[in-house]
Structures are given as structure tokens and as C-alpha cells.
Amino acid sequence: MSDASSPATATAPDMLELAALLCSRVCHDLISPVGAIVNGLEVLDDDPKPEDREFALDLIRKSAKTASARLQFCRLAFGAAGSSGARIDLGDAQTMARGHIEDGKCSITWNLPRLLLPKNRVKLLLNMLVVAQHTIPRGGMLTVDPIGEGETMSFRIIASGHNARLPQNISELLSGERGPAADAHAIQPYYTRLLAEACGLTVKLAPEGEAITVTAS
């Protein structure tokens, strides 16, 4: 007898659960930098030595910058980001992607032209970047290329880095072969698939030599 709660037969979340899981994902991304800001303020409250004070201020500056970059990215990648049918500048998307992803370990080569695209296509692109980043846990390069042109443009991202790998279950979540586990980590690739479907596209994750490609077509 099959187990109805097993990953292979997991059901998709309803709208309320999807919203809750995406909120949990955003909170997860923000906990670390916000917590570091709190720690820095606590050091300042203790009337520290000059060198400790400077360390705390530097920690607060860097963490506030990180938190701001992540908030801006999440607002576009997961949020409403304008009215229905809105178009978003790929140049703005590039700025947000770099602020969120480039951290000294991971960098982006952005080969897309600067133009306005429908909101869901830009959201799809940013979510594909998150998926691609997960395939190079030790860092590396994400190369973003266009497929086609104009408003029907889709994307290919090549993730190259030491020990690039396919994360467990991500391919299935993107393809719809299984429902997502009920946690905030699995909801992001599931949401990526929903965005792709809204754009009339399919997202595929596959090895290519020593790299991993994420393609929407």
C-alpha cells in the first residue's frame, strides 16, 4: 500500500499554503543579516573598546546592505512588483540579482540586452538564478544568456564552479514529476515552475560537462 504522504505522491500546496511558504522563504533569507545587525547593536550598547566599536559598526553596515539587497530581490522575485501586466527593466533585474547573489564566492556574467519584459518573465529569470546558485554551493559563475528576443525571450543559465551538482529532488520539482515537500526550501523551485507555466515555458535542469544548465523554453 502506498504512503499518501510520501514525496512521490505529495500534493501541491493550496494558495494559502503557497503564500505562507513563500513568506517563510523570504524570512529565512533575512534572518541572518538582521540578526547580525542586532548583534552589532548589542555590542555598541555594552560601551565597547574603540576597536570593538569599529568592528560592530562595520558588521552593522555590511549586514544592513545585505538585508536591503535581499529585500529588493525578494520583492521582485516573489512579490507583486507592480500591477498585473506590468513590464520590468532587465537592467533593474540585473542590479537586484548582483546585489543578492554576488558575495565574493559567486559572480554573474549577464549577457541579456536591456529592455522591458513582462513581469512574470523577469520573476522567472530571478528564480532561475536562485535555482542555478544552489547547484554551485561552493561558489562559481552564473552565465545568463537569452534564448530568442523581444517579449518572448526566454533564458539559459550556466552554473559553473567547483563541485557543481544537481540538488536532490530539484529537477523533479521543476518538472512537476512530484509535489513539493511542505517546507520553505522546496517551495522556491516549485514556484519557479508555476512562473514558467504562466509564461508558457518549461524549466529544465541538466548537467552539461562539468557545469549545470537551467533552461526555460
Q: What are the grid coordinates assigned to 58, written together? A: 562595520
pLDDT higher than threshold 70 for residue 82:
no
Residue pLDDT, tens place only, 158-214: 999 888 888 877 887 887 776 556 566 778 888 999 999 999 999 999 998 889 999
Helix segments in the chain, DSSP class H:
15-45, 50-77, 90-101, 119-134, 170-175, 187-198
pLDDT value, residue 68 = 92
Q: Could you give the CA distance from residue 5 to residue 209 in angstroms, rounded to a whole number?
A: 36
pLDDT digits (tens, 9 = 90+) for 49-70: 888 889 999 999 999 999 999 9
Cell of 131: 535555482
> Helices marked H in 13-89 — which ranges?
15-45, 50-77
Confidence of residue 25 (pLDDT cuts 50, 70, 90): confident
Q: Is the pLDDT of residue 6 over 60?
A: no
pLDDT at residue 2, rounded to an integer? 38
Q: Give CA–CA dist 164/215, Å, rounded.
A: 16
Buried/exposed 30-68: b ≥16 CB within 10 Å, e otherwise: eeebbebbeebeebeeeeeeeeeeeebeebbeebeebbe
